[in-house]
Amino acid sequence: MLATRSGFRFLISISLFIGSGLVRADWVQTTDGSTPISCGSGSVATGAWCTGSNCDNVWLYCQYVGGFWSSHYPTAFFSEEGQYWKTCNEGYALTGLTCTGNYCDNISLECSYTGTLLSNDCRWTQWFSEEQGGLFFDSGWYARGAACNGNNCDNMMYYICRKT
């Protein structure tokens, strides 16, 4: 756990043997006012979780898919008050997140160019909040966007695409 003055950032690393290879996966977390979270080069978000009031402690489950990311960009911030969603451009994956405001009310996504994860087979997950905890995306799927609704972005859903 890395402590900061304005909040906490957690990194929990898990290594699993699946089939004949080693798979690395990490949970990364942010709270309002803390530093942005990022999956790290070669990893994409394959799950999400939230805790705290109004889902204000946001976690991403990051799974290593190989390679490195050649470029990144942040989306504009979104919230339930206006346009309540953002997606990364084609060829990019959701690899991080920043939030500001009360209860993580304003959200910006970090999008990273993958080059190898091109997909037109995409869909939105169901809504969830701290009452449900979170979700792992279906096997072989990764996040490419997010949306929120409810007071202070209390409910979240993710735009996920099938790995090709």
Q: What is the pLDDT along the chain (164 residues), one digit of tens a residue?
A: 222 223 333 333 333 333 333 334 577 766 666 678 889 888 999 999 888 888 888 889 999 888 778 899 999 999 998 889 999 998 899 999 998 888 888 999 999 998 777 778 999 999 998 888 888 999 899 999 999 998 988 899 999 999 87
Region of residue 91 (left: phi > 0; alpha: psi -120 to 50; beta: else): left
pTM: 0.81
The CA distance from 146 to 69, in Å, is 20
Matching residue, tokens 């695409």: 161
Instruction: Tell which residue, 137, 126, 156, 150, has the closest CA to residue 58.
Output: 156
The CA distance from 115 to 105, in Å, is 31
71 CB-contact burial (10 Å; exposed 0-12 / middle 13-18 / buried 19+): exposed
* DSSP letters for 53-71: GGG-EEEEEEEE-SS--S-
